[in-house]
Structure 1
Amino acid sequence: MIRILVILSVAFAFLAGCSKETQKIQMPEDMPEDFRFSVSFGYGEDHKNEINTYNDTVTKDLVTKGTATTALSFSSDELQLIYGKMKDIAILDEKQFPRKGNCSQTPSSTDSWKITVNGETKTLSWTNEYCDMTKDAKDLLELRSYIQKIVEGKDAYKALPAAEGGYD
């Protein structure tokens, strides 16, 4: 009987060790060689803006004039800073995003992320359609704004055409 209890205890401990929570993608202290990310964002279901380190491009929404894409890469120092900010907000952990409630706003925007660290890739998406912003959504918006400011300061981005028109 004791032997069965020991076997069951070991089996439960093993299964608990395989739970979803312990299989989180861990961000190492130092930025790994394969660190990459992309974030696409825009109004409604269109994510016309994109910052993509997988293919070193940025795409700008020109509204009524379509989109424009150009080659753009980050320096090693910029990537280190971005990685640090992602690590600070534990971007690879489970996130809580705004949920449908009594309030919605139009137009709304949606952000979709893809992050690769140590051979593991995570995707996540959130919208500001619902009025109550969660801390996780605010953190991701601040991160995207930070990255976007870096991009907007680069000559390749400045050379893109200006957007024309707007969203209702």
Structure 2
Amino acid sequence: MKRGWLSLLIAMMFLAGCSQDSDLDKGSAAPSAEMANQEAGMPADMPDDFNFVVRFGYGDVTKNEINTFQGTVTKDLITKGTATAHLKFTPNEMREIYGKMREIHIMAPKKFTKSQNCSMSPSNEDEWTVTVDGKTESFSWTDRNCELSDDAIALLELRNFIQSIVNAKEAYQALPAAEGGYD
């Protein structure tokens, strides 16, 4: 009797371990992070043509700009217009920014709206253009609808990271202070 139960237990364990899917099928259904990055146009090493522009501000007033294509930064002075300075990131800063963009798969399709249950004014607006390895993507997000998607939060954190590098640059610190505010 014990031998029968033992045989039945072994047979059930064997059958429980079997499935219709092979290990090869499972591998193709869930690509590795490296494959996902390659598919999203983000090679491991930063390509020579990597550049970006991010314009941001409140509502339709996206006067702040960080532009690595032109090597400039523009600051919104609110009531006094804008001021622009030449600003170049170091190669290490560019690699660090590229790494953060790669982590969030910046070249992959994004979802920016979560819900539209309310409306906020003024609202933050970001417009991005990113070139990586011959491919250019442009997109924008807003917090006008009160809730940010995970993709929008990642871009906001990225923009804040880049802005913190810019804020430490002498060229940016030499720009005049903003005056006034937005309603």
Q: Does residue 158 of the first structure (1) align with residue 173 of the second (2)?
A: yes
* Aligned-residue offset at 1:94: 0.7
1:89 pairs, out of 100, 104, 108, with 104
- 5+ long unaligned stretches in structure 1: 1-22
User: Secondary structure of the residue that 1:140 maps to in structure 2?
Assistant: helix
* Residue number in structure 2 paired with 1:66: 81
How far does residue 92 in structure 1 lie from its aligned partner after superposition?
A: 0.6
Tell me the equivalent position of 2:29. Answer: none
TM-score normalised by length of structure 2: 0.77
Counterpart in the other structure of 2:146: 131
The percentage of counterpart residues that share the same residue type is: 57
In the other structure, the counterpart of 1:37 is 52
Distance in 2 between the 1:122 and 1:43 partners? 22
Which amino acid letter does the alignment assign opposite residue 94 of structure 1?
Answer: P
Q: Is the 8 A contact 1:25 1:120 kept in 2?
A: no
| TM-score, L = length of structure 1 | 0.84
Q: Distance in 1 between matches of 2:140 and 2:115?
A: 15
Cα offsets for 1:121-155 (capped at 9, x unmatched): 00010001011111000000000000000000000
For structure 2, the 5+ residue unaligned runs are 1-37
Q: Given residue 163 of structure 2, which amino acid in structure 1 is its aligned partner? A: Q
Q: Give the aligned residue type for 1:50.
A: E
* Equivalences, count: 147
CA RMSD of aligned residues (A): 1.5
Distance, in Å, in 1 between the alignment partners of 2:182 and 2:124 is: 11
Deviation of the 1:102 alpha carbon: 2.0
Distance 2:134 2:117 in 1: 40
Cα contact 1:98–1:131 (8 A) shared by 2: no
